Structure 1
Amino acid sequence: MGVIFDILNAVFGNNRNVLRETAEVFRENAEAGALRGHDMQIAALKQMQGEFVTAQRGWFDRLMDGVNRLPRPALALGTLGLMISAMADPVWFAQRMQGIALVPEPLWWLLGVVVSFYFGARQQVKHQELQRDMVQSMMRVPQVVQNISTLRA
């Protein structure tokens, strides 16, 4: 019995586990890998937070946001207005459409470019704001998880 005890003590004694240490040479320790992954994710989120989180916006920025929100409703309401005016007074509408028919094609192309760039730039700004909001939400995840575990306990 003493020989078996000495062998087991050599393998597992002094808070060692030779089998585990040997296995970790060939396969990553899952718990340690998860901790490294968590640390890497937190570092990446902090970096993204530094890139996307900006200072509070002033009154001018809020005013410009309001002005930027006008074209879409104006286009939609204008289109509805054209349809209503065509039904209400077809002669008046036909006169206006004859005027639009005289607009040269390069001017239509220019209008298309301006509208495309406007809405494309607006889409990009909204996408970047969404990314910034997602980063802020992700930075709160560890606190939420801790709060949930505290509530369950």
Structure 2
Amino acid sequence: MGLIDRAMGVLFGSGRNVVAETAEVFRVNAEARDAREAGLRGEALAQFGAEFAKARRSRFDRLMDGLNRLPRPALALGTLGLFISAMWDPEWFGARMQGLSLVPEPMWWLLTAIVGFYFGARHQTKGQEFRREIAAVVAAAPAVRTVAPVERDAGENPALSDWRESTER
């Protein structure tokens, strides 16, 4: 019994588990890996939440954003309504289309310019907002804590070493 106790003491004694430590050389500790991945996932979610958090806006800003969202659905639904009305009451539809054919061509150009500039300006505004948000995220990127890789390559990679040095500055 003394020999077995000493052997078990060597393997599992003094707060160490030699079997587990030896096995971890050949296989990643699943519990530690899961803990690292959970931490990394939590940090990524926190970063995404910070990226997409919007500043508090006034009632007027929210109202104007709501009004700015109306023209596209109104145009789409209005066009569908025209198709439905053409099938429902062709005479009524024909009278309306005959009226549209009397509109002078310069007024169609004006309508095209107004609608084009409206949607173009909105597209440009949203694009600038998006670029501003990306710039803010990139500016905050050095503050994001990096997580050590789970496993390292056996060979040294010069590009990876340069990248690690640049992120540690």
Bin the TM-score by the shorter chain.
Answer: 0.5 to 0.7
- Per-residue deviation at 1:89? 5.8
Q: Structure 1-normalised TM-score? A: 0.58
CA distance in 2: counterparts of 1:73 and 1:84, whole angstroms: 18
2:11/2:19 contact within 8 Å kept: yes
- Per-residue deviation at 1:13? 1.2
Q: Which runs of structure 2 are paired with 1:123-142 in the superposition (5 Å)? A: none
CA distance in 2: counterparts of 1:4 and 1:74, whole angstroms: 84
Partner of 2:61: 61
CA distance in 1: counterparts of 2:126 and 2:66, whole angstroms: 15
CA distance in 1: counterparts of 2:62 and 2:85, whole angstroms: 33
CA distance in 2: counterparts of 1:112 and 1:13, whole angstroms: 79
The one-letter amino acid paired with 2:21 is E
CA RMSD of aligned residues (A): 4.0
The structure-2 alpha-carbon separation of the partners of 1:82 and 1:97, relative to structure 1 and needing over 3 Å to count, comes to farther
More helix by percentage: 1
- Per-residue deviation at 1:78? 3.1
Q: How far does the alpha carbon of each residue in 1:40-96 deviate from its partner, in whole angstroms, 9 at most, with x for none?
A: 112222222222212322112211122123213421453325764853162452241
Partner of 1:44: 44
Structure 1 unmatched ranges of 5 or more? 129-153
Q: Structure 2-normalised TM-score? A: 0.54
CA distance in 2: counterparts of 1:96 and 1:82, whole angstroms: 15
2:11/2:17 contact within 8 Å kept: yes
The structure-2 alpha-carbon separation of the partners of 1:24 and 1:123, relative to structure 1 and needing over 3 Å to count, comes to same
Percent identity of equivalent pairs: 38
CA distance in 2: counterparts of 1:90 and 1:19, whole angstroms: 87
Partner of 1:6: 6
- Per-residue deviation at 1:107? 8.0
Structure 2 unmatched ranges of 5 or more? 134-169
